[in-house]
Chains A and B, each alone.
Chain A
Amino acid sequence: MTAATVSGPAVSAASAARRRRRIPYLLLLPGMAWLLLFFFLPLAQLVVTSLEEGSLEAGFNFAWAWDNYGALFTTYRGQFLRSLVFAGIATLLSLLIGYPLAYAIAFRTGRYKPLFLVLLLMPFLVPFLLRTLAWRIILADEGLVVTTLQSIGILGSSGRVLATPMAVVAGLTYNLMPFMVLPIYVALEKMDKALLEASADLYGSPFVSFWKVTWPLSLPGVISGTLLTFIPAAGDYVEVELLGNPQSAMVGNVIESKFLNVIDYPAAAALSVGLMVVVVFLVVFYVRRVGTEELVT
């Protein structure tokens, strides 16, 4: 009797504590289920497919066909490297143009800040394909850009802009720019402006203040921005299709044609998985490098 009255509340308290501990996991459940269903299962399917062999007519069979992966570094090495180089250049250009833009919006626009943010996001109101198609017209051979460049002699009389690697990189840069600017803007925006006064007070010239205070504090934004730019750019194929030519094809174009035209699923899957693994490696390496740099002075 005595034991029961003592242990009763203790037991229910313990089970209540257990229930409370379970709540976070319950809350995670929908997200985990979503990831499992729409990310891990297709990914697993993709990996399995990448190791199959056969043909559309004969059917594809699982065969540990590691050779499929070789194509990324042999037959399609050019396209693969081009993907990384184009994405790298587009990311660098986005950073060079996007950082000052984010800086200006965060520090210099005053009460017009919302207007500039809306302008930055304006392109999203027009579908991606339409915007890129518009660039086809702008960069076309008889278009204003080309004729202007020709008349001031930067471009030869037979020179083109459309259907060149330059147009592809420009398209990538243009389309991904907001993804670079926004995270950097957010990082700069939440920086305490008094820190710059403190730096000036401690004998930091404007240039030194930028390198020692603003830049390191904006690094998280720079990291997010470069990842949000580089990763989609490395897998892109639309820019080449609309603005490039066969000589500027990226690995995304190869994957697209393997999947949709040649119908060689194992090869397409192996190229996709291979690209993904390489990009993940690059990203981890990059985040480590830059991330630790932020921690030292």
Chain B
Amino acid sequence: MTSPGSGVPAVELVSLTKEFADFVAVKELDLAIDDGHFFALLGPSGCGKTTTLRMIGGFEEPSSGIVRLHGEDVTGLKPYRRPVNTVFQSYALFPHLTIHENVAFGLRRQKIDPGEVNRRVGEVLELVQLTGRGRQRPRQLSGGQQQRVALARALVNHPRVLLLDEPLGALDLKLRKEMQIELKRIQQEVGITFIHVTHDQEEAMTMADTIAVMHGGTIERMGHPDEIYEDPRTTFVAGFLGASNLMDARVISPEQGKLVLGDGTPVWIEPSRLMNGATTVSVGVRPEKLHLSAPDSPLETPNRVPGTVTDASFTGASTQYLVDTQQIGEVAVTIQNLGDRRFRANDQVTVGWYPEHCFLVT
């Protein structure tokens, strides 16, 4: 094994594949996760997140491919021989044991000295703010507390990688938000690599240093949350990470980043994003990157199309508009509430945006 920070990835998956009887759940997945990162595996239900996590934990045997932990091939090892621990979606706390014994379970199996066990259990219960609950049983705790016991039970073993399968899925919204912050704090405090599986893009964005978006058994896009949000590269990722407006365009001048829409309206984008040499492309822009103006007060944005407001809904901090345009169909627009003029249905408007806010998807 290598020490943290040596540049060897904490987890490395090489061409990992899992086939069930009649279904390929994970397809030739390649992935390297840096040590000490909070990593989120994000994707819709059924895309293979749990299966991937279970192969890292050793609960599922890959059909082919390699799993490495800190450079060491662990593909054939049983779960109890891997330096990883898991927080299960259902928590899987032992109902017949006290909280203290639940947390101590892994340490006792490793034959750690009883005094040391007590010290470490006390320490980790403090970390998850459950000091004094040691003698209770799981069923006496609330869902959020049980969740933290599950976390403590895994963390107390000082794993090098912690696997979390939708750990907040069973909590209500408010508690989930609190636990997101809590989990992030704990991860920063212990410095262990967290691999967090979720289908909630907001959760992934809030917590993770790196997000991998999974789709149909493979990773479609991976990077920092803002990087993949601003440049999702595929229609699926663009749609999964939030709303976006897509339009088809023809490339006129790759050097200048000039495109035209179907009716000849020019659209300008960052030339650097056009390097793949395609002649027709799909351009996306997020609703909050769009600007609106009345036709008589022209926008400064290089990209402009005229349209008619079909719907306006005020949500306090912002207003969500739907604008019907001839060139790109219906467009969703989000305008921050800065006290500017608000439009109503049937108002004529111009929709505008800047080249740097365009992304290309395939």
Contacts and interface: CB of A to CB of B under 8 A. Distances in A.
Interface of A: 192, 194-195, 197-205, 208, 212-213, 216-217, 294-295, 297
B3 interface: no
Interface in B74-94: 78-80, 84-86, 88, 90, 92-94
Contacts of B59: 197, 200-201
B78 A199 contact: no
A202 B96 contact: no
A198 B80 contact: no
B106 A194 contact: no
A197 B79 CA distance: 8
B96 A217 contact: yes
Contacts of B109: 202-204, 208
A297 B78 contact: no
B324 interface: no
The 3 A-B residue pairs with the shortest CB-CB distance, nearest first, are A202-B106, A198-B92, A203-B109
Q: From A195, A201, A204, A216, name the one whose CB has the most chain B CB atoms within 10 angstroms.
A: A201
Interface of B: 57-59, 78-80, 84-86, 88, 90, 92-97, 101, 105-106, 109-110, 153-154, 157
Contacts of B157: 202-203
A155 to B, nearest CB: 45
Contact of B80 (A205, A212, A294): A205
Given A195-B94, A216-B96, A203 B88 contact: no
Contacts of A192: 90, 92
A192 B154 CA distance: 18
Given A294-B96, A297-B97, A200 B78 contact: yes
A211 to B, nearest CB: 11
Nearest to B111: A203
Contacts of A201: 57, 59, 79-80, 84-86, 106, 154
A27 to B, nearest CB: 27
B80 A297 contact: no
B80 A194 contact: no
A217 B79 contact: no
Nearest to B88: A194
A198 B96 contact: no
Given A200-B59, A201-B85, A202-B105, 8 more contacts: A194-B90, A198-B93, A201-B86, A201-B154, A202-B106, A202-B157, A203-B109, A297-B97
Contact of A203 (B80, B96, B101): B80
A199 B97 CA distance: 12
A202 B154 CA distance: 8
B150 to A, nearest CB: 8
Contacts of B90: 192, 194
A192 B138 CA distance: 14
B74 to A, nearest CB: 14
Contact of B110 (A199, A203, A217, A294): A203
A202 B153 contact: yes
Contacts of B154: 201-202
Contacts of B110: 203
Given A204-B109, A213-B94, A197 B88 contact: yes
A218 to B, nearest CB: 10
B70 to A, nearest CB: 18
Nearest to A297: B101
Nearest to B104: A297
Q: From B78, B80, B95, B157, name the one whose CB has the most chain A CB atoms within 10 angstroms.
A: B80
23 contacts: A192-B90, A194-B88, A194-B90, A195-B94, A197-B59, A197-B79, A197-B86, A197-B92, A198-B86, A200-B58, A200-B59, A201-B57, A201-B80, A201-B106, A202-B85, A202-B154, A203-B80, A203-B157, A205-B80, A213-B94, A217-B95, A294-B96, A295-B96
Contacts of A195: 92, 94
B243 to A, nearest CB: 36
Contacts of A202: 80, 85, 105-106, 109, 153-154, 157
Contacts of A199: 94, 105
Nearest to B97: A297
A201 B154 CA distance: 9
Nearest to A219: B96
A213 B157 CA distance: 19
B80 A204 contact: yes
Nearest to B103: A202
Q: From A203, A216, A217, name the one whose CB has the most chain B CB atoms within 10 angstroms.
A: A203
A201 B96 CA distance: 18
Nearest to B86: A201
A217 B293 CA distance: 68
A71 to B, nearest CB: 44
Q: From A192, A197, A202, A213, name the one whose CB has the most chain B CB atoms within 10 angstroms.
A: A202
A200 B79 contact: yes
Contacts of A297: 97, 101
A195 B102 CA distance: 11
A78 to B, nearest CB: 42
A194 B90 CA distance: 8
A220 B205 CA distance: 46
